[in-house]
Each structure stands twice: as structure tokens, then as C-alpha cells.
Chain A
Amino acid sequence: EDKVVQSPLSLVVHEGDTVTLNCSYEVTNFRSLLWYKQEKKAPTFLFMLTSSGIEKKSGRLSSILDKKELSSILNITATQTGDSAIYLCAVGANNAGNMLTFGGGTRLMVKP
């Protein structure tokens, strides 16, 4: 059974701090790993990672995949209160008919 584990479960930081969120997976026939940010409603897409070692960057957010370690990290630098959200990691497999397996999420709270 495919499995995705995120850590930490929750995190409280102050504005300006840098945070690193972790995602590890056990998936047969890995295809891609996706990061989402969820505030009050639907998750919003952040990154899709398919190749190991290539950093993807968007503003203060960046993410990288390590296929050898079966993991990914999501970094947020100079955090702002607007970064407060649940961050979800999901993994897609080639033999799963496009289905995603989600991790439990990391709840980030950024205090002023």
C-alpha cells in the first residue's frame, strides 16, 4: 500500500523565520510528487516534482525531490503571516490510474 508521511505535524514560527517541511513516501512505480497549500478551501498547487535533485522555486518557496531517500522538502524563507496554512504533499504512481496519495499535512502557523 502506498504511503506518504509528512513532518512535522504542526509548526509555529514568527515572521521572518525560515521553515522546512518534510515529506517521505513509499510508493510503487513513483511518477511525481506534488506540494499544495490549503487555507480555507481547496488546495492550491505549489510544485510538481518528477526529477531528483532539481530545485523548483517560486518566490520565497522552493522544493526539491530526493528519489534515493524517497523524500522531498518544501522550504519557505522569510515567512509571512499569509503563509499560515496546511501544506499537503501528495504522490502519484504510474500504476494508480492518476490517483494521488496524500500525506497527513503540516499545519504551519506564522505569528507576527
Chain B
Amino acid sequence: GAVVSQHPSRVICKSGTSVKIECRSLDFQATTMFWYRQFPKQSLMLMATSNEGSKATYEQGVEKDKFLINHASLTLSTLTVTSAHPEDSSFYICSAPGTPYGYTFGSGTRLTVV
């Protein structure tokens, strides 16, 4: 079945540094990738939609200069959290549509900023 590989699964970084999260579609082409964040005990909140070959679309309230999204190819989308702060600590997860079950999720990245 369709698989989205997300790395890293966990990352701890110092405040002020940048962290890159990758999502790769392994056996299908993902022209679109959705990026979500999830705070403890809360649901998934859509942050942005990346489209291969064009600029990402950000949801209201999400700073595009802070959360840089690049969709460099049909199989790779990246989210870079720039100048991370403790309040950016969260669970980040990507999802690609168009698979047999509608959508496939990556395994998620737990980011802790200290």
C-alpha cells in the first residue's frame, strides 16, 4: 500500500536553531502534502498545504517565514521550523492524499525545543 516515510521521528533542539522534517512518498507520487501539528490531547490542526512546483498555502495564523515548506519533487516535501522556540514544541505530521484509502499519514515527528 501507499507509504509516507517521515523523518526524524523525534528531535530535541536548542532554542533559536532550525529543524527540518522530511516526508517522502515511497511508492506513489504526492503532488500535494498536508502538514499538521498536534498539541497534547488535541486534534490535528492543518498548518499548510504544499504543492509540488509551487508555493505552499498556509492556514490563517501560521507564519510562513517561520515554518518553511518546500515540495521539491513529487516524492519529497519538507517542513523547516526556523528559529525554534519552546512554544513550537509539538507533534508534526504530514499526510498525502490520493491513495487507495484516501490519505496516508507519515509517522509523525515529536519536536521538543529546549
- Judged by a CB distance under 8 angstroms, whether A58 is at the interface is no
Where the two chains meet, the residues of A that have a C-beta atom closer than 8 Å to any C-beta of B are 32, 34, 41-43, 45, 48, 86, 88, 92, 97-105, 107
- List, sorted by A's number, 6 A–B pairs whose CB atoms are closer than 8 Å: A34-B103, A45-B101, A48-B102, A92-B97, A102-B44, A104-B43
Q: Whole-angstrom distance between the alpha carbons of A102 and B42 in the complex?
A: 11
B49 and A48 within 8 A (CB)? no
Q: Are A88 and B44 in contact (CB under 8 A)?
A: yes
**Could you tell me if B43 and A98 are in contact, using CB atoms closer than 8 angstroms?**
no
Q: Which residues of A contact B95 (CB under 8 A)?
A: 100
Minimum distance in angstroms from A42 CB to a CB of chain B: 4
Cβ < 8 Å to A, chain B residues 1-25: 6, 9
Judging by beta carbons under 8 Å apart, are B103 and A100 in contact?
Answer: yes
B46 and A32: CB pair below 8 A? no
- The reply to whether the CB of B32 lies closer than 8 angstroms to some CB of chain A is yes
| Nearest-Cβ distance from residue A100 to partner chain B, whole angstroms | 6
Interface of A is mostly: strand
Q: Is the CB of A104 within 8 A of B42?
A: yes
- Residue of chain B at shortest CB distance from A107: B41
Q: Would you list which residues of chain B between 89 and 111 have a CB under 8 Å from chain A?
A: 93, 95, 97-98, 101-103, 105-108
Is A42 a contact partner of B98 (Cβ separation < 8 A)?
no
> A42 near B107 (CB under 8 angstroms)?
yes
- How far is B6's CA from A32's CA once the two chains are assembled, in angstroms? 25
Is A41 a contact of B49 with CB atoms below 8 Å? no
B67 in contact (CB, < 8 A): no
A88 touches which one: B9, B34, B43, B98 (CB < 8 A)?
B43
Report the separation of the CA atoms of residues A99 and B59 in the bound assembly, to the nearest whole angstrom: 12
Contact present for A99 and B34 (CB under 8 Å): yes
Which residues of B have CB within 8 Å of A42? 6, 93, 105-108
Interface residues of B in 62-114 (CB under 8 A from A): 93, 95, 97-98, 101-103, 105-108
Could you tell me if A41 and B101 are in contact, using CB atoms closer than 8 angstroms?
A: no
B33 → chain A, closest Cβ, in Å? Answer: 10
Considering the complex, give the chain B residue whose CB is closest to the CB of A50.
B102
B25-51 vs A: 1/0 string, CB under 8 Å? 000000010101000011111100100
